[in-house]
Structure 1
């Protein structure tokens, strides 16, 4: 069975690597016997060239929510530089498992996500990092729309911690203007760091503020789902068409 090479962005904040390590433990618990290795694009060690040489057969799984610059350019370039022709899985979003992980974190923050009545009165800010890639931001808006539609929130507004606005306070104001009786902020981010801290500070006026997705079991299951999809695609013969 090929190894799962989890490729994370990396951060100078030590909480980032600790969160990735905890997530790897969740993946290993779900699938004992699978070789799971981690490599980072920046700031943290080990880097991709340090890891791929010892793995042999492997599937690269990006720890990324959207298909933006890192997924389109940085990871393929790093693998090429390392001389590793590995199958690369799709990014994590969108997925129902991500919505379930967002629900989990809101529930931990005190929101009764199981109550339809509570959801109907609550407006949520989906607070993402933001990207210079319009397609990535559009994907985040698609997640927000799907979350509202499937759960029946009063409204879901997207805010960004970097790049262009709107910012969290703007999104909270929009929710209140739309009639939300209560508000919550849900970071659409994978690990603690500068941007999640910025979001938490800006969310001071919300009734509830969730934690980052972190080592949620739904996220571990999603990583394995992406691994299985890429592994199957790599071993399925292509059908030639005339």
Structure 2
């Protein structure tokens, strides 16, 4: 029996670095599971679209597809845009089975990747001392999502035994510059910023700019095409693939 195909679904961006990063992350998935048919797709602003990816897989003969949303929180896109796109696709292809998994979320391994990106930024900027951290996420109109980022900031700070402030690129205060200045007002002078984003783009550039203007000594790169993120994708896929199994048919 052929394993279900996998689509890694990102939101998309006009910034070409974003699509390149998502496609490189998808290649990491392929390297880990070369037996799977894997496609990257985007909700908007980049190609291929979800419809194009599904059409390609259907033409190849795949009738079971697991879609993993490459999102770090259950914000608007996860709750509304992605399910609506899946529903439209299912209506277009009545003979296939589509399974939408949970988002990537903030698994423990995400903090491992954050740490690596932080170490890289500190080495690049020759920073030897830290006394404060800022963790910047996208931000949302949903306070529950913002609370999850604040909770992640506290967890990250506890890992490093440093005071840590959450910041948001949009929708909610504080912005990265405000968070850095708040720590500086508390007497901290060596503050680094971690980016809770999968890929670079306008928002990460803005976070970096504001943080450096406010006096941050280093800003890490986004999580990027990391093997541990690819492993989370495959964990989500595994659950989705099991959910596609027809138990009645299996035991008939």
TM-score, normalised to structure 2's length?
0.85
The counterpart of 2:234, out of the listed 215, 219, 224, is 224
Look up the match of 1:66. 73
Find 1:40's aligned residue among 30, 39, 42.
Answer: 42
The DSSP-based 3-state class of the residue aligned with 1:185 is strand
Whether contact under 8 Å (2:130, 2:192) holds in the other structure is: no
Residue 86 of structure 1 aligns to a residue whose secondary structure is: strand
Pick aligned residue for 1:100 from 112, 115, 124? 112
Q: 1:124·1:153 contact (CA, 8 Å) conserved in 2?
A: no
Indicate the residue corresponding to 1:115 in structure 2.
none
Q: Distance in 1 between matches of 2:156 and 2:242?
A: 29
- The 1:76–1:106 alpha-carbon spacing in structure 2 relative to 1, beyond 3 Å, is same
Shift in CA distance, 226/179, structure 1 to aligned 2, threshold 3 Å: farther
Q: How far, CA to CA, are the matches of 1:34 and 1:139 in structure 2?
A: 32
Give a deviation string over 1:97-131, Cα, whole Å, max 9, x none.
110110010011126xxxxxx99953211111111
Q: Which residue of 2 aligns with 1:134?
A: 143
Larger Rg, first or second structure (1 or 2): 2
Q: Secondary structure at the match of 1:82?
A: helix
Residues in 1 aligned to 2:155 and 2:101: alpha-carbon distance in whole angstroms:
23
Asked if the contact 2:86/2:100 (under 8 Å) is kept, the reply is no
Is residue 195–residue 204 contact of structure 2 (8 Å, CA) maintained in 1?
A: yes
| Length, aligned pairs only | 232
| Structure-to-structure mapping, 1:62-211, within 5 angstroms | 62-83=69-90, 85-110=97-122, 121-149=130-158, 151-204=159-212, 205-211=215-221
Q: Structure 1: which 4+ aligned runs deviate by more than 6 Å? A: none
**Which residue does 2:93 correspond to in 1?**
none
User: Is the deviation greater in 177-186 or in 41-50?
Assistant: 177-186
Q: Is the 8 A contact 1:155 1:180 kept in 2?
A: no
Report matched runs for 1:14-33 at 5 Å. Answer: 14-33=16-35
Shift of 1:165: 1.1
Q: Would you say the 8 A contact 2:71–2:78 is kept in 1? A: yes
The answer as to 2:55 corresponding to 1:53 is: yes
Alignment partner, residue 114 of structure 1: none
CA distance, structure 2, for counterparts of residue 191 and residue 29 of structure 1: 19
Secondary structure, counterpart of 1:58 in structure 2: strand
The whole-number CA distance in structure 2 between the counterparts of 1:184 and 1:43 is 31
CA RMSD of aligned residues (A): 2.3
